[in-house]
Amino acid sequence: MRTNRKRIPLILGVVIVLLIAGVGIGMAQDKSYTLRFNTVGGPNEPQYLSMQKFAEVVGQLSGGKIEVKTFHSGQLADQKTGILGVMRGSLEMTSDASPSWFADLASYPEIGVLEVAYLYRDIDHLYRVLTGPIGQKYWDELARKSNIRVLDIWYLGTRQLNLTKKAGTVRRPEDLKGVKLRMPNVEAWLDVGRALGANPTPLGFGEVYMALKTGTIDGQDNPVPTDYSEKFYEVTHYIVLTDHMIGYITPIINEKLWQEMPEKYRVYIKKAMEVARFHQNMMVLEQEAYLLGKFEKDFGMEIVVPDKKAFMTSAKNYYSQSKFEKRWGAGLYQKIQSSE
């Protein structure tokens, strides 16, 4: 039987209409998600601005099916509460996460090796480790153990010592003896302070400015963009360029929620995370390039170039204790340091 050629366009038109209608029905049936994304960082910090970029991009990619609401300055939770909230499913996402927190809160001490003093040679080495087979092994095990899914790695800046006048000029680890150096209240972070030679003092991030002002602590360590955005230059005098940690954060999402989402939504989220990562990294690197001069010229701070080799030796000696071998696995610290 031969089809009338005049009817072919009509038939094709009907088929196209039906296909479009089918796609429309499929999109209409896709579940919508509202994701609350929290940070303790302030509204002007690269971290929060990058969260907003993520929200914008994933909203566009998903046609509005994934709506991300961002919260700064700990509006929903502090660091610890935010991570626990994601773990338990009472909060969808936070950017205030990293292995030191996972070691304590997720009862996964082995992962703490990924965030210790003088582990990574540079930012490229950090990304090769954390996005390669070594890092992926830890992230997958974390998801299995704790219901936390690590979505990406965002560069937070290289951490430097930031001290008050009372602390004095610090050039070697022994100069930190008796200095009350603020650290996040988890054991792995307190170990960083000890590795540098300081007396680590646990304190929440939101309390740091006032503690510096009142003399409760003598210093803190953060990348210089954080020192600037949080106005720590108003209550400190020294920036000591120890370069002791290449800081990063790992935006996380509840694993059960992650697995529930359609695969294409997970692709959208990963793509948007990648865009936000480059947005974050560019801002931080640019700020690191000019802020030291600004601190010195505009705020009268003193920039100190220390004996970095002495600090590296101090850290190496501290982490050579048998308790770290038992916690992380034999030779893991040295293996990651020397990995390509």
User: Beta strand 238-249 with 199-202: parallel, antiparallel or unpaired?
Assistant: unpaired
SS3 142: helix
pLDDT, position 16: 41
- Categorize the per-residue pLDDT at 340 as very low, low, confident or very high, splitting at 50, 70 and 90: confident
- Categorize the per-residue pLDDT at 25 as very low, low, confident or very high, splitting at 50, 70 and 90: very low
DSSP string for residues in 250-319: --EEEHHHHHHS-HHHHHHHHHHHHHHHHHHHHHHHHHHHHHHHHHHHHH--EEE---HHHHHHHHHHHT
pLDDT per residue as tens digits for the range 184-226: 888 889 999 999 999 999 999 989 999 999 999 999 999 999 9
pLDDT, position 326: 94
* pLDDT, the chain, mean: 92
Query: 73 — alpha (psi -120 to 50), left (phi > 0) or beta?
Result: left
100 within 8 A of 245, measured Cβ to Cβ: no
More confidently predicted of 2 and 276: 276
pLDDT, position 91: 98
Mean pLDDT within 9-19: 45
State yes or no: pLDDT of 285 exceeds 90.
yes
pLDDT, position 7: 53
Residue with tokens 């560019």: 282
Of all residues in the chain, the percent with pLDDT exceeding 90 is 86
Domain ranges across the chain: 32-338
State yes or no: pLDDT of 20 exceeds 50.
no
Mean pLDDT within 78-105: 96
User: Which among 11, 79, 93, 70 has a CA at the least distance from the CA of 40?
Assistant: 79
- Helix ranges (H only) for 131-262 are 133-146, 187-196, 208-214, 224-229, 255-260
pLDDT per residue as tens digits for the range 36-72: 999 999 898 999 999 999 999 999 999 999 999 999 9
Mean pLDDT within 156-170: 97
pLDDT per residue as tens digits for the range 293-306: 999 999 999 999 99
Written as six digits, the tokens of 334 are 């040295």
CATH class of 32-338: alpha beta
pLDDT, position 300: 97
E strands present in 89-192:
93-94, 148-150, 154-163, 180-183
